[in-house]
């Protein structure tokens, strides 16, 4: 999976979770950029990402993710 | 009904697409608005979201109060202006074994463990007492799931110091409280977590990460289960089965294979599976669920199959058997009419996906569980919560008998020249009295279940019924009807609010099983008598139309009322002056004879 492919699939997950087809996420997107992205939606987002890429993100990583770029880093690392 | 919310549902899908599903469901009509307060011992955010979806699918539009994180006990015990403003219709206490504060220690004496148990239990029971006294509304309380580790291994179950043992005892105490308190319901997460798989359910990740007492993927299961209790409380349970025969109640096709070649009974494993399913349905029948057949078969073949010596179900176990070559949707709708039920009160069970699709399309609202293999029929039907039992009244246990009696009455009716002769031959006796403690549960049940013969469709909880009965500004009457074929039980309820010399009838309902028996006129006579005793001279009636109560649009007109007003929505207001010349309206039923009251004939 390339970084672009990961972003593409991730974007689909974001649109579903936040029910907003206008969302396009990039390397530096953070929760500040998406209106409904609060701590509760973050839980759904993480679970939906795990579901999409078929792996579990360990607790340590869930806590330290700073932006969508880092999320993609984890996906590419775990989803090998 | 939204297919993605029917059991077995895809939890991941519901969690991901909740927003778009919610949007679709909110376009539904005739939604019942209810206020639900969730008092949590852990995070409740997704519980609320999922519960909303399942309730909307059941026709209930919830508004939620959510306690601050972990504040369930404080919210219950101390004055809380937000909750007071919210005025809950239902309280749901979402606690788990993470909320147990003290566990037995290895050196504790049996007395010390007992004291500990009492301490944990009374922390909860004092909260329930307080909530009941404050809110007078139904309370749903989780019991406890088993701990996710066992310090002593298997001994944890047997030793009083074991946590498994402690949880088991605590759960029994919870159950005892439910047995002795109406309007208090245990939500059995002990069973649910076992069914789901405790190891996954209790994955500590979700507790430490998000303070969820269960894994996220299990939350739809939890919410679905809670929604089943809620919809049962508000009278939205199913009442009857419409069952296919071939490859549903037995293996094989009776018309082609012949009775002797059907798979049913203990001879083969396939036969055993079908037998277990028939047994399951027979147990359902004992709990008051009506069994019916809708089958594409010649009638005599259907009856021959049901008379198979190894079958648990016999033709006599069914109220209605429709075995013919008409479309099943036509049969189902006709059957519903004959039983004075709505198609949405039925669960349609058929192994054939095409038949299921037709029913979903032609009889929307009818529950149509997705079935795959016969060995899973029970799993799917049982977990769908169609018949979630919140109360088991004597009437429920007798319901099958009552429908049979009705069938006998219909036969008798055919043999009389006039309808009056027929009514007289029924030798009807009624008891019509103010609400009595014995019948509070049944009265509340009726207010929630009756849709067709219901003038205002006001729903009451049992607590509200009890309060209304005790209030001197209300006149309440229930009516019980017996005849030569049997006892119909409590079938009609009237509530009036006294406004000086006027009585506003805020509720008038009757079970359709006693339609056209003049019972509504007997009720009017008693109501008028009660009013006159109190110096009330005017009775005012209200009719609020719904999708289902068209049959009583002219009810007050037939009772001799005059129409006062009608708005664009079709709501009508009616008045009757009873101060002079009130004539008794019915002469077919002997009312309150046992107390030796005067009966005018």
pLDDT at B601: 38
Q: Comparing C-alpha atoms, which of B345, B140, B332 is closest to residue B235?
A: B345
User: Shortest Cα distance from A78 to chain B (angstroms)?
Assistant: 18
pLDDT at A80: 57
Q: Which of residues 22-51 of B touch A (CB under 8 A)?
A: 23, 45-46
DSSP B49-88: HHHHHHHHHTTEEEEEEEPSTT-HHHHHHS--HHHHHH--
| Whether the predicted pLDDT of A18 surpasses 70 | yes
Put simply, whether the predicted model's pTM sits higher than 0.80 gets the answer no
Burial of B173 (0-12, 13-18, 19+ CB in 10 A): middle
The answer to whether the bond into B8 is cis (omega within 30° of 0) is yes
Q: Which of residues 20-39 of A touch B (CB under 8 A)?
A: none
Burial of B534 (0-12, 13-18, 19+ CB in 10 A): exposed
Collect all residues of chain B within an 8 Å Cβ-Cβ radius of residue A18. Answer: 19
Contact criterion met (CB < 8 Å) for B209 and A59:
yes
Give the helix ranges, DSSP H, for B505-588.
519-533, 555-558
pLDDT at B304: 95
pLDDT digit string, tens, across residues B302-322: 999 999 999 999 999 999 999
Nearest CA in chain A to B205: A59
Collect all residues of chain A within an 8 Å Cβ-Cβ radius of residue B18. Answer: 44
Of B12, B20, B45, the CB nearest to A51: B12
- The contacts of residue B428 (CB under 8 Å, 6+ apart) are B481, B482, B483, B517, B588, B589, B590
Nearest CA in chain B to A62: B209
Q: Comparing C-alpha atoms, which of B408, B493, B423 is closest to residue B459?
A: B493
Q: Comparing C-alpha atoms, which of B476, B432, B467 is closest to residue B599?
A: B432
Write the Ramachandran bin of B421: left for phi over 0, alpha for psi from -120 to 50, otherwise beta.
alpha
CA atoms of B173 and B158, how far apart (whole Å): 17
Contact criterion met (CB < 8 Å) for A13 and B209:
no
Query: What's the average pLDDT block by block, 10 residues per block, for chain B (601 residues)?
Result: 91 92 91 95 95 96 94 91 94 97 94 95 95 94 98 97 98 96 96 98 93 96 98 93 97 91 92 96 94 94 95 94 93 90 95 91 92 94 95 75 77 75 87 93 89 92 93 96 85 96 96 87 95 94 91 92 94 93 88 59 38
Encode B202-229: b = buried (16+ Cβ within 10 Å), e = exposed: bbebbbeebebbbbbbbbbbbbbbbbbb
B287 touches chain A (CB under 8 A): no
Of B17, B23, B210, the CB nearest to A16: B17
**Token output for B487:** 């006892």
Of B16, B205, B212, the CB nearest to A17: B16
Contact criterion met (CB < 8 Å) for A16 and B16:
yes
Q: Per-residue pLDDT averaged across A52-59, rounded?
A: 85
Contact criterion met (CB < 8 Å) for A62 and B209:
yes
User: Shortest Cα distance from A27 to chain B (angstroms)?
Assistant: 23
How, if at all, do strands B502-510 and B486-499 pair? antiparallel
Task: State the best of B4, B210, B220 to mutate against chain A, taking most chain A CBs within 10 Å.
Answer: B210
User: Shortest Cα distance from B45 to chain A (angstroms)?
Assistant: 7
B205 touches chain A (CB under 8 A): yes
DSSP B131-150: HHHHH-S-EEEE--PPPS--
Q: Which of residues 34-73 of A touch B (CB under 8 A)?
A: 40, 43-44, 47-48, 51, 59, 62-63
Q: Which of residues 207-226 of B touch A (CB under 8 A)?
A: 208-210, 212, 216-217
Q: Comparing C-alpha atoms, which of B14, B399, B43, B440 is closest to residue B224?
A: B14
pLDDT at B593: 82
pLDDT at B396: 75
User: Shortest Cα distance from A16 to chain B (angstroms)?
Assistant: 6
**Token output for B341:** 């039920």
How, if at all, do strands B572-577 and B538-543 pair? antiparallel
Report the CATH fold assignment for A3-78: 1.10.1200
Q: Per-residue pLDDT averaged across A57-78, rounded?
A: 84
CA atoms of B434 and B476, how far apart (whole Å): 5
pLDDT at B598: 45
| Residue entry with tokens 């029910």 | A19
Contact criterion met (CB < 8 Å) for B19 and A40:
no
Per DSSP, B251 falls in state B
Report all structural domains of chain B as residue ranges with CATH numbers, in order of start.
3-233 (3.40.50.1110), 240-383 (3.40.50.1000), 417-595 (3.40.630.30)
What ipTM was estimated for this complex? 0.73
pLDDT at B597: 45
pLDDT at B261: 92
Of B15, B23, B208, the CB nearest to A47: B15
């Amino acid at each position: 999976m390339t970084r672009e492919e990961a972003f593409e699939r991730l974007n689909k997950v974001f649109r579903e979770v936040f029910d907003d087809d206008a969302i396009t996420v990039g390397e530096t997107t953070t929760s500040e950029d998406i209106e409904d992205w609060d701590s509760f939606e973050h839980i759904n987002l993480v679970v939906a990402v795990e579901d999409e890429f078929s792996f579990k993100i360990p607790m340590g990583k869930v806590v330290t993710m700073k932006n969508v770029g880092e999320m993609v880093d984890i996906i590419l690392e775990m989803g090998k | 009904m939204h297919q993605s919310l029917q059991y077995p549902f895809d939890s991941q899908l519901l969690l991901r697409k909740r927003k778009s599903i919610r949007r679709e469901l909110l376009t539904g009509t005739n939604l019942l608005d209810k206020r639900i307060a969730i008092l949590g011992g852990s995070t409740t955010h997704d519980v609320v979201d999922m519960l909303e979806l399942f309730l909307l699918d059941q026709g209930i539009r919830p508004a939620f109060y959510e306690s601050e994180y972990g504040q369930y006990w404080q919210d219950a015990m101390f004055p809380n202006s937000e909750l007071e403003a919210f005025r809950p219709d239902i309280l749901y206490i979402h606690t788990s074994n993470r909320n147990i504060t003290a566990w037995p220690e290895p050196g504790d004496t049996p007395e010390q463990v007992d004291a500990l148990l009492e301490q944990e239990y009374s922390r909860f029971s004092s909260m329930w007492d307080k909530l009941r006294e404050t809110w007078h509304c139904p309370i749903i309380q989780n019991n406890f799931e088993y701990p996710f580790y066992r310090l002593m291994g298997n001994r944890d179950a047997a030793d009083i110091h074991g946590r498994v043992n402690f949880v088991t005892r605590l759960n029994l105490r919870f159950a005892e409280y439910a047995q002795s308190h109406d309007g208090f319901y245990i939500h059995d997460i002990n069973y649910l977590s076992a069914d789901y798989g405790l190891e996954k359910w209790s994955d500590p990740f979700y507790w430490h990460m998000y303070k969820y007492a269960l894994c996220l993927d299990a939350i739809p299961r939890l919410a679905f289960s809670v929604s089943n209790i809620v919809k049962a409380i508000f009278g939205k349970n199913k009442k009857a089965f419409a069952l296919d025969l071939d490859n549903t109640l037995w293996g094989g096709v009776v018309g082609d294979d012949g009775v002797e070649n059907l798979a049913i009974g203990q001879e083969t494993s396939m036969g055993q599976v079908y037998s277990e399913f028939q047994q399951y349905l027979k147990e359902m029948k004992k709990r008051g669920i009506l069994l019916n057949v809708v089958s594409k078969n010649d009638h005599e073949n259907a009856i021959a199959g049901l008379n198979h010596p190894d079958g648990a179900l016999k033709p006599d176990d069914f109220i209605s058997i429709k075995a013919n070559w008409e479309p099943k949707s036509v049969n189902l709708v006709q059957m519903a009419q004959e039983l004075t039920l709505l198609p949405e009160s039925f669960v349609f069970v058929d192994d054939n996906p095409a038949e299921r699709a037709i029913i979903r399309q032609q009889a929307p609202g009818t529950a149509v569980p997705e079935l795959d293999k016969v060995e899973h029929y029970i799993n799917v039907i049982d977990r769908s919560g169609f018949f979630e039992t919140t109360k088991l009244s004597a009437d429920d246990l007798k319901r099958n008998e009552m429908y049979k009696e009705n069938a006998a009455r219909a036969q008798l009716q055919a043999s009389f020249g006039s309808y009056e002769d027929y009514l007289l031959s029924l030798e009807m006796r009624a008891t019509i009295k103010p609400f009595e403690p014995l019948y509070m549960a049944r009265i509340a049940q009726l207010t929630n279940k009756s849709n067709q013969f219901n003038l205002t469709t006001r729903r009451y909880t049992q607590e509200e019924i009890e309060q209304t009965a005790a209030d001197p500004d209300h006149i309440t009457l229930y009516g019980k009807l017996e005849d030569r074929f049997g006892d119909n039980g409590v079938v009609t309820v009237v509530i009036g609010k006294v406004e000086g010399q006027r009585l506003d009838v805020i509720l008038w309902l009757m079970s359709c099983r006693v339609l056209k028996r003049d019972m509504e006129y007997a009720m009017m006579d008693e109501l008028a008598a009660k009013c006159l005793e109190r110096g009330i001279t005017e009775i005012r009636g209200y009719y609020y139309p719904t999708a289902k109560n068209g049959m009583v649009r002219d009810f007050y007109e037939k009772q001799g009322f005059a129409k006062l007003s009608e708005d664009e929505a079709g709501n009508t207001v009616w008045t009757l002056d009873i101060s002079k010349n009130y004539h008794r309206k019915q002469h077919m039923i002997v009312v309150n004879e046992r107390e030796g009251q005067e009966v005018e004939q």
